[in-house]
Amino acid sequence: MNELFPSKFLKALENLLGKERLLKEKEDLFSYSYDSSSLIRLPSAVALPERKEEVIEILRLAQEYKVPIVPRGAGTATTGSPLAHKGGLVICFSRMDRILEFNEEERIVRVEPGVLNGELKKFLKKYGFFYPPDPSSYEFSTIGGNVATGAGGPRGLKYGTTKDYVLALEVVLPGGKVLKTGPSTLKCVVPYNLTSLFVGSEGTLGVFTEIVLKVIPLPQKRILFVSAHEREEEPLEIITEILRKKLTPACAEFIDKTTILALSKSKGSLPIFENKNFSSLLYLELDGEGEILEKEKVLIERFYKDLGISFEKAEDESDIENLWEIRRTISPSLKVLGKKRFAEDVVVPRRFMKDLLFKIRKLEKDWGLYICCFGHAGDGNFHVNILFDSENEESAIKVRENVLKEVIELSGTISGEHGIGYIKRGFVNWELSPLQIEIMKKLKKVFDPEGILNPQVKIPD
């Protein structure tokens, strides 16, 4: 047993969880050694708690023995944030997946961290309610992971992201103290907002055992427009125009020409706008009900017809889902353009999206690498994926640096929703001032004085 993982600690954990819920064998640990980045890090052991009392005891023991702790939901992060970078104990929350309370009158739901976002959506739908944050991974990522990364998704444009729905948290701190961050009321200013501090903290400040979320009534109907564009940047202009018309679509998703190439190559041909020449797509979804929705639909139809833009419209739920399926398969399709990738999730003010796209096209040409640029353009949030093979990794590193520099020059941010994790830590000081970083380091020490919570993640050394 190595120094980071004393045998007394292991014994105490075994007494607490039993052999079945404390994984130690290499073949079991392997399943917890990766996420959606390309990193592989084998943890020393994995704990599978079922009750918060067990989490409290684990955190108490971890502090005593100074063992690194890495909380984990479904392991879909793209940044290496749920990985044990220098060994340590992974606490996986897959067995703490109960919906504890739904209060229709207060419009809140209280859940354990391992509840899948998709399961929560299904549960609420039965009551005509809705939890809007919808990372494209919603079917298989957990609420705990979503809160810890501050996850966003296509619906961010109209409904905001995870941060807009978390009302209160129950957090276990190193040493086993339990912190409740707020009442479950819609408002509270007594005195600092600790809940907000934990949203997006990537498991570096505390471990969530309960989460209280705001929910809203489910919109009655949605209408999806998918349009094809000869000029690649046209969708970005259209988003601006539509927002100027005071319309707020639920989603405005952009797909650029390199992503279309990846989709077409991996599928043989794209199952939309066959026999048409186009270099980008725009997904525009409206939701709501009655006359207002009808009016918005007519407005978009007229707008597209006046501009001579080809579009498909879907009002039936299964047609809508079939069209979204194309968008959802982007991530696995990108492999056809390169075995490896850097997946950035940058945000720039909407007015600079075109500038960023042009810059990316220039980098693609200058360096001879495929760069896909797709995502939540309604929020100014592009998923920039640089595809490469081992022999051109050096070029990909340079391209990545250029993209991030450009984003910061355009008053943007290097991560809108996926987080910093391990792989973007080196770029944090490009965006933040030394004072900001100093304050964040002090905050980390307040919650985690021994530095045992998710070390090597988020804050630069």
Q: Based on CB atoms, which residue is closest to ligand FAD, 116 or 396?
A: 116
Which of 287, 172, 310 has the alpha carbon at shortest distance from 229? 310
Q: Which residues contact 406 (CB under 8 A, 6 or more apart)?
A: 356, 359
- Residue 292 Cβ, how far from ligand FAD at the closest point, in Å? 27
Q: Which is nearer to ligand FAD, 36 or 227 (CB)?
A: 36
User: What is the full DSSP assignment across 47-76?
Assistant: E--SSHHHHHHHHHHHHHHT--EEEESSS-
Strand-pairing partners, residue 252, are 284
Cβ nearer to ligand FAD, comparing 77 with 399 = 77
By beta carbon distance, the residue nearest ligand FAD is: 145
The strand pair at 69-72 and 89-92 is best described as: parallel
For residue 379, the Cα-to-chain-centroid distance in whole angstroms is 14
Yes or no: say if 68 and 54 are a contact pair by the CB < 8 Å rule: no
Least distance (Å) between residue 73 CB and ligand FAD = 2
Judging by beta carbons within 10 Å of its beta carbon (0-12, 13-18, 19+), is residue 277 exposed, middle or buried? exposed
- State the burial class of residue 186 (Cβ atoms within 10 Å of its Cβ: 0-12, 13-18, 19+): exposed
**For ligand FAD, the closer CB: 209 or 227:** 209
Beta carbon of residue 170, minimum distance to ligand FAD (angstroms, whole number) = 10
Question: CB of 307: closest distance to ligand FAD in angstroms?
Answer: 28
Are 460 and 437 spatial neighbours (Cβ–Cβ below 8 Å)? yes
Minimum CB distance to ligand FAD, residue 81 (Å): 3
- Contact residues toward ligand FAD (CB under 6 A) are 35-36, 70-78, 81-82, 93, 113, 135-137, 141-142, 144-146, 148-149, 151-153, 202-203, 207-208, 331, 417-418, 454
Nearest CB to ligand FAD, comparing residues 43 and 152: 152
Pick the closer one to ligand FAD by CB: 111 or 300.
111
Residue type, 397: I
* Residue (252 or 300) nearer to ligand FAD, CB: 252
Q: What angle do CA 156, 160, 165 make, to 5 degrees?
A: 130
User: Least distance in Å: CB of 251 to ligand FAD?
Assistant: 11
Q: Please state the closest distance from residue 101 (CB atom) to ligand FAD, in A.
A: 18
Task: Give the chain's end-to-end CA distance (angstroms, integer).
Answer: 27
How many Cα atoms within 13 Å fall on the side-chain side of residue 459? 22
Q: How far is the CB of 52 from ligand FAD (least distance, A)?
A: 10
CB of 143 to ligand FAD, least distance (A): 8
Minimum CB separation of residue 261 from ligand FAD in Å reads 19
Q: Which is nearer to ligand FAD, 203 or 412 (CB)?
A: 203
Instruction: Give the residue with the Cβ less far from ligand FAD, 80 or 288.
Output: 80
Question: Smallest distance from the beta carbon of 207 to ligand FAD, in angstroms?
Answer: 4
Question: Any idea what the Cα angle at residue 146 is, between residues 380 and 169, rounded to 5°?
Answer: 120
Residue 240 CB partners (closer than 8 Å, separation 6+): 350, 351
What is the number of H-type helices and E-type strands within the chain?
Answer: 16, 18
Nearer to ligand FAD, 80 or 235 (CB): 80
The span from the CA of 17 to the CA of 10, in Å, is 10
Cite the beta strand spans of 6-160 per DSSP E: 22-23, 45-47, 69-72, 89-92, 99-103, 108-111, 129-130
Cα separation, 129 vs 122, in Å, equals 9
Smaller CB separation from ligand FAD, 39 or 307: 39
Instruction: Give the nearer residue to ligand FAD in terms of CB position, either 205 or 410.
Output: 205
Which of 340, 460, 458, 454 lies closest to 83 in space, CA to CA? Answer: 454
**Shortest Cβ 428–ligand FAD spacing (Å):** 15
Q: How far apart are CA 363 and CA 371, in angstroms?
A: 8
